[in-house]
C-alpha cells in the first residue's frame, strides 16, 4: 500500500502547515450551526488530509450528519469557514460542493435502479456527440472507473439487478468519476454483510492510495478500527477528541462518545438494585427473541416494579430489542410471555392489548402527531385502544389531560396547543403521558431523555422512578450511562446486536459499563 502514512500528521493541536509535507484538503474552522432551540454544531474545527481515511464518530444527535451536511453544502453555516483544496468556500448547495471535489455517498443508495450501471455513473454528465448521448463513450468511461474499483460487472447491466453492496460501489464509482478529492461515506456499511464490507474496504483502500481523502461515518467500532487512519469524535455538537487510530483504545473512544454527565440531579427516593425475586413470574419474558440482521436471539425478564437499564452503543441492538418486545418489528425467532402466558406480538396494537407500552427514540417521526393538539396526542393511545366508536367522555378526557399537564409540568400548559409547536422536552413529556394514561404493566422507553434540556430530563427520570415504585416494569434505554446507572435495578449490556452481559446494579460504575461495552468480542474477531 502506498498511501501516506498517518505518522506525517500531528494528531491535534499544532497546525499541519510547516510540520508536514501535506496540507489538509479540507479545513473547517469555528463551524457553528444552529437550529431552532438547539445548537447542532458548536465552534467545530475539523481537518481532512489527502490520502487518509478519517472516521467520524458519535452517538445520535452528536452532530455527525450536520457536520457532513455543512461540508457538502446541504446546510448553510451560521459562522465559521470551510476551506477545500486551499480555497475558501461558501457552498450554496450540494452541486457547488461537488464542483469543488466533495462527493457524498449516503447510506440509502439514491440512484436509479431501472437505468444501466454506466447511465447511473454518468447521469447528468453523459459524454455527447453531435448533441446526442454517446453510449459507446459512456460505457467505455464507466468500464474504466469500474476497473479502478476492481468491480467486475458490465456497465450495460441494469443497476437494480445487482445486490445493494454493488449498487453502493457504483454510487462510489459515480463519486470517484467526478474527480473527487474528498469522498464522504455516510454509514456505507449499514446494510452490508461482512463479505460485502470487505469488498467495500478494498475499494476504499485503493482510493486512499490514489490520494483521495475519505471521510468515513460509521457506528461499528470494529470497522472503524479496521479501515481508518484517524478519527474525530463528536458529542453534543462539539469535537471531544481527534486521534490517530493506532494510538487510541476502544475504551477511550467509548468514553468520549458517551461522555460523563456532570450535572447533579436530585436524589431519587428509591433505593436501586433490589434483586428480582426469581420465584415470581416475570410480567414480560422473552426467550431467544431475535430478528435476522437486527438482533441475535436474546433472553430478557422484566419483573413488576423494576427498572432494567439497557446500555450499549448506537446499532448495538438496544433499540431493536425494544421494537421486537413491542411488536413494532416482527421477530423471526424466539417467544414472548406476558405473566407466564405465551403471546404473539404481531403488531403494536397486540402489545398494547397485553399492556405493553413503547416510546420510540425517534420522537418526531415515530411519536409526535404534529398537526394534532397536545390533548389529542395524549389521548391517542387510549382512544385507539377503545376504538373510534367509544370516545373517551369529554370530562374524563379533560381531567386526564389537565392532570398530566400538571404532573409532568408540560409547557405551555395548554391542551389545545399544536403539538409541533412544543419544544422537544415537552413533546417527550406528552408522549410519556400518552402511555401513562393507558396504565401499562410494562413500559419500554427508548432514549426518552435524548436532546432535551436538563430540567425536563430530571423530571422524566423522576417519573420513571415513581412508576417503578408504584409497580410498573420499565425497560430504560439510554446512551447516557450515568442515567442508566441512576435509574436501573438491573443492567443489560448490548454490543453488535447481541446481549453480552446482564448484571445487578450494585456498585457498578460507568467505567465498568464502558469496559463491558468496549470489550472486544472474541468470537467476532476469530
Give the residue from 436, 438, 516, 439 showing the smallest Cα distance to 448. Answer: 436
Which one among 46, 49, 91, 358 touches other proteins, defined by CB under 8 A? 358
Q: Convert 76-110 to b/e letters by CB count within 10 Å (16 or more is b).
A: ebeebebbbbeeebebeeeeebbebbbbbbbbebe
Place of cell 410471555: 337
Supply 246's cell numbers.
493506532
Nearer to other proteins, 178 or 369 (CB): 369
Instruction: State yes or no: residue 389 binds other proteins (CB under 8 A).
Output: yes
Considering only CA atoms, give the Rg of the chain.
25
Residues in contact with other proteins, counted by CB under 8 A, come to a total of 32
Q: Could you give the string, one character per residue 399-438, with x where binding to other proteins holds by CB under 8 A and - elsewhere? A: -----------------------------------x----
Instruction: State yes or no: residue 348 binds other proteins (CB under 8 A).
Output: yes
Instruction: State yes or no: residue 366 binds other proteins (CB under 8 A).
Output: yes
Instruction: State yes or no: residue 346 binds other proteins (CB under 8 A).
Output: no
Instruction: State yes or no: residue 332 binds other proteins (CB under 8 A).
Output: no
DSSP H or E stretch at residue 226: helix 221-227
Cα–Cα dist 217/107, whole Å: 10
Give the residue from 72, 75, 3 showing the smallest Cα distance to 39. Answer: 75
Which one among 369, 417, 515, 518 touches other proteins, defined by CB under 8 A? 369
Stretch that binds other proteins, among 17-25, 39-47, 62-70, 363-371 (CB under 8 A): 363-371
Instruction: State yes or no: residue 385 binds other proteins (CB under 8 A).
Output: yes
Instruction: State yes or no: residue 352 binds other proteins (CB under 8 A).
Output: yes
Stretch that binds other proteins, among 81-89, 122-130, 269-277, 359-367 (CB under 8 A): 359-367
Cβ neighbours of residue 497 closer than 8 Å, sequence gap 6 or more: 294, 295, 296, 315, 316, 317, 320
- List the strands of the sheet with 213-217, edge to edge: 102-105, 182-186, 213-217, 53-57, 230-235, 238-244
**Residue 377 CB, nearest approach to other proteins (Å):** 8
Nearer to other proteins, 232 or 426 (CB): 426
Nearer to other proteins, 328 or 513 (CB): 328
Instruction: State yes or no: residue 391 binds other proteins (CB under 8 A).
Output: yes
Nearer to other proteins, 32 or 423 (CB): 423
Which one among 237, 317, 367, 473 touches other proteins, defined by CB under 8 A? 367
Q: Region of 75 please: left (phi>0), alpha (psi -120 to 50) or beta.
A: beta
**Residue 437 CB, nearest approach to other proteins (Å):** 11
Which one among 185, 212, 368, 443 touches other proteins, defined by CB under 8 A? 368
Instruction: State yes or no: residue 453 binds other proteins (CB under 8 A).
Output: no
Cα–Cα dist 386/388, whole Å: 7
Residues 308-327 that bind other proteins (CB under 8 A): 326
**Residue 433 CB, nearest approach to other proteins (Å):** 12
Which one among 96, 380, 417, 500 touches other proteins, defined by CB under 8 A? 380
Cα–Cα dist 460/278, whole Å: 29
Cα–Cα dist 404/424, whole Å: 17
Stretch that binds other proteins, among 38-46, 64-72, 374-382, 487-495 (CB under 8 A): 374-382
Cα–Cα dist 383/379, whole Å: 6
Cα–Cα dist 322/444, whole Å: 6
Cα–Cα dist 140/257, whole Å: 45
Q: Convert 226-249 to b/e letters by CB count within 10 Å (16 or more is b).
A: ebbbbbbbbbbbebbbbbbbeebe
Stretch that binds other proteins, among 52-60, 109-117, 366-374, 451-459 (CB under 8 A): 366-374
Give the residue from 211, 157, 242 showing the smallest Cα distance to 22. Answer: 211
Place of cell 401499562: 440
Nearer to other proteins, 237 or 348 (CB): 348
For residue 23, the tally of other CB atoms under 10 A from its CB is: 15
Stretch that binds other proteins, among 39-47, 298-306, 360-368, 467-475 (CB under 8 A): 360-368
Which one among 74, 265, 392, 413 touches other proteins, defined by CB under 8 A? 392
Nearer to other proteins, 241 or 367 (CB): 367
Residues that bind other proteins (CB under 8 A): 326, 328, 347-349, 351-352, 358, 360, 365-372, 376, 379-381, 383-392, 434
Amino acid at each position: 500500500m502506498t498511501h501516506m502514512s498517518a505518522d506525517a500528521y500531528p494528531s491535534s493541536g499544532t497546525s499541519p502547515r510547516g510540520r508536514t509535507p501535506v496540507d489538509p484538503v479540507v479545513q473547517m474552522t469555528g463551524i457553528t450551526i444552529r437550529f431552532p432551540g438547539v445548537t447542532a454544531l458548536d465552534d467545530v474545527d475539523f481537518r481532512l488530509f489527502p490520502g487518509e481515511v478519517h472516521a467520524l464518530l458519535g452517538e445520535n444527535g452528536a452532530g455527525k450528519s450536520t457536520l457532513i451536511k455543512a461540508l457538502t453544502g446541504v446546510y448553510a453555516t451560521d459562522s465559521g469557514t470551510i476551506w477545500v483544496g486551499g480555497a475558501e468556500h461558501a457552498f450554496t448547495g450540494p452541486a457547488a460542493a461537488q464542483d469543488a471535489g466533495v462527493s457524498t455517498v449516503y447510506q440509502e443508495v439514491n440512484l436509479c435502479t431501472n437505468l444501466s450501471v454506466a447511465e447511473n455513473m454518468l447521469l447528468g454528465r453523459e459524454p455527447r456527440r453531435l448533441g446526442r448521448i454517446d453510449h459507446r463513450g459512456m460505457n467505455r468511461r464507466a468500464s474504466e472507473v469500474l476497473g479502478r474499483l476492481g468491480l467486475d460487472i458490465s456497465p450495460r447491466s441494469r443497476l437494480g439487478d445487482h445486490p445493494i453492496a454493488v449498487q453502493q460501489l457504483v454510487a462510489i464509482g459515480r463519486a470517484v468519476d467526478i474527480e473527487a478529492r474528498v469522498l464522504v461515506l455516510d454509514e456505507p456499511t449499514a446494510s452490508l454483510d461482512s463479505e460485502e464490507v470487505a469488498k467495500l474496504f478494498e475499494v476504499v483502500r485503493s482510493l486512499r492510495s490514489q490520494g483521495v481523502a475519505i471521510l468515513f461515518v460509521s457506528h461499528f467500532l470494529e470497522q472503524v478500527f479496521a479501515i481508518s487512519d484517524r478519527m474525530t469524535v463528536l458529542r453534543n455538537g462539539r469535537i471531544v477528541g481527534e486521534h490517530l487510530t493506532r494510538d487510541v483504545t476502544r475504551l477511550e473512544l467509548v468514553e468520549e462518545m458517551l461522555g460523563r454527565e456532570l450535572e447533579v440531579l436530585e436524589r431519587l427516593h428509591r433505593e436501586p438494585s433490589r434483586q428480582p425475586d426469581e420465584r415470581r413470574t416475570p410480567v414480560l419474558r422473552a426467550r431467544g427473541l431475535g430478528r435476522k440482521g437486527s438482533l441475535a436471539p436474546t433472553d430478557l425478564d422484566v419483573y413488576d416494579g423494576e427498572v432494567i437499564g439497557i446500555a450499549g452503543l448506537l446499532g448495538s441492538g438496544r433499540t431493536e430489542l425494544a421494537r421486537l418486545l413491542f411488536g413494532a418489528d416482527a421477530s423471526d425467532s424466539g417467544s414472548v410471555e406476558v405473566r407466564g402466558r405465551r403471546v404473539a406480538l404481531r403488531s403494536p396494537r397486540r402489545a398494547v392489548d397485553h399492556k405493553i407500552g413503547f416510546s420510540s427514540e425517534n420522537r418526531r417521526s415515530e411519536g409526535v402527531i404534529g398537526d394534532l393538539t397536545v390533548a389529542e396526542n395524549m389521548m391517542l393511545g387510549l382512544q385507539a385502544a377503545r376504538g373510534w366508536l367509544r370516545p373517551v367522555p369529554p370530562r374524563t378526557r379533560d381531567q386526564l389531560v389537565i392532570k398530566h399537564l400538571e404532573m409532568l409540568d408540560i409547557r405551555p400548559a395548554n391542551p389545545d396547543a399544536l403539538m409541533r409547536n412544543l419544544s422537544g422536552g415537552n413533546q417527550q413529556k406528552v408522549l410519556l403521558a400518552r402511555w401513562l394514561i393507558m396504565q401499562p404493566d410494562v413500559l419500554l422507553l427508548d432514549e426518552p431523555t435524548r436532546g432535551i434540556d436538563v430540567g425536563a430530563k430530571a423530571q422524566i427520570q423522576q417519573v420513571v422512578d415513581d412508576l417503578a415504585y408504584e409497580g410498573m416494569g420499565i425497560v430504560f434505554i439510554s446512551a447516557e450511562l450515568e442515567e442508566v446507572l441512576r435509574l436501573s435495578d438491573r443492567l443489560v449490556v448490548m454490543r453488535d446486536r447481541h446481549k453480552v452481559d446482564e448484571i445487578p446494579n450494585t456498585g457498578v460504575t460507568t467505567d465498568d459499563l464502558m469496559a463491558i461495552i468496549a470489550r472486544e468480542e472474541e468470537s467476532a474477531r476469530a
